[in-house]
Structure 1
Amino acid sequence: MDSHKRRTMKYLPLVIALLCAGAASAQDRIWRCGSEFINDVNIARQRGCKDTGLGKLGGSTSMKLSEVTVPVDDDGHFRVRGTVNGQPAVFLVDTGATFVGISDELARRANLLGGAAVQFRTANGVRDSRVVQGVNVMAGSLGVPDGVAVAVGTIGLGDDVLLGQSFLSHFEITMNGKQMVIRNRIQ
């Protein structure tokens, strides 16, 4: 038997055990991806994350850990990759912003229609905008189940997004001069 077959046979019992465990139990587990904890089995599998052994115990969730560590950029800002309604975005974390703010261009790609017409005073002056409720926003592996309010047209062009309090207020945030950690609140 060649070395490839021996390696494959070595892991076969583990693969069978994992398949027999069922998807429901995998969904209840906590995974570690580097310095980040997530509870999404699909993301964990894609990234090759390690199971922490935390999760469902005795029918109730022991804890749900999920966090994103955001290093400070050379310009002193915190940026994290994510999505708005499934469209890729780069978030500039702005703890002083009321809403998640996106460009009209990104709103078109993300199919964000309607919303309440408002005017905002921004760093670039007064801007006509609209606020769309219940938008699916993901910052790293973090999201808000019912979506968040997004202000459309408050920033310039492209995929840059302000990550404001309509998203951040759902999480615990700690930071120092080198990094920011955004994590689920332990319930």
Structure 2
Amino acid sequence: MLGLTAFYHAITERSGGMEQGIGVDGRAMVTLQANRSGHYVAEGEINGQPVVFLLDTGATDVAISDKTARALGLEFGPRITVMTAAGPAVAWRTRLDRVSLGSLALSDVRATITPGLGREALLGMSFLKYFNLRQEGDRLVLQGGSQKG
């Protein structure tokens, strides 16, 4: 029983939950519940493969670890330097064919491959900027917004 309790705690700490629906204006809508740490963590997909996203409005791009990039068969593009909370880091540019969070999805999304990044992929502004975001207490509502052009 102790093992099951620890497993349940790990899941609830990691992900706060996600609801999907359609807004009154007919646009797709996803509502995320903050986890116990106050972060918005949710399951999504990159190129049809499941990933766990940590929503990060402070991240310019979607960011994934080099391990995840290799598992997805991504091309390591030009080498760049990115600023992280821990200071400058080496990263590589790449493009993601498709990124989805519930019913919200985009094609051809700019991303960075950042060695040493944790298990979660950062769902940054290269995805989020195309949606309307609204915080309601410990819930974050994302709704279909401007079209990617």
- What's the TM-score, normalizing by structure 1? 0.62
Matching residue of 1:50 = none
Matching residue of 1:25 = none
Structure number with higher relative contact order (C-alpha < 8 Å, ≥ 6 residues apart): 2
Matching residue of 1:149 = 110
Structure 1: which 5+ residue stretches go unaligned? 1-33, 39-53, 55-62
Distance 1:64 1:117 in 2: 41
1:172 shift after superposition: 0.5
Distance 2:81 2:103 in 1: 31
> Conserved in 1, the CA contact under 8 Å of 2:35 and 2:41?
yes
Letter of the structure 2 residue corresponding to residue 150 of structure 1: A
RMSD: 2.4
Matching residue of 2:91 = 129
Distance 2:123 2:108 in 1: 13
More strand by percentage: 2
Matched residue count: 130
1:64 shift after superposition: 4.3
More helix by percentage: 1
Larger radius of gyration between Structure 1 and Structure 2: 1
Identity across matched positions, percent? 34
Letter of the structure 2 residue corresponding to residue 148 of structure 1: V
Letter of the structure 2 residue corresponding to residue 36 of structure 1: Q
- What's the TM-score, normalizing by structure 2? 0.77
> Conserved in 1, the CA contact under 8 Å of 2:19 and 2:32?
no
Distance 1:92 1:106 in 2: 14
| Secondary structure at 2:39 match in 1 | coil
Matching residue of 1:173 = 133
| Alignment CA distance shift 1:154-1:181 (3 Å) | farther
1:80 shift after superposition: 1.4
Of 35, 44, 49 in structure 2, the residue corresponding to residue 73 of structure 1 is 35
For residues 54-80 of structure 1, the C-alpha deviation after alignment (integer angstroms, 9 at most, x for no partner) is 9xxxxxxxx642111100111011111
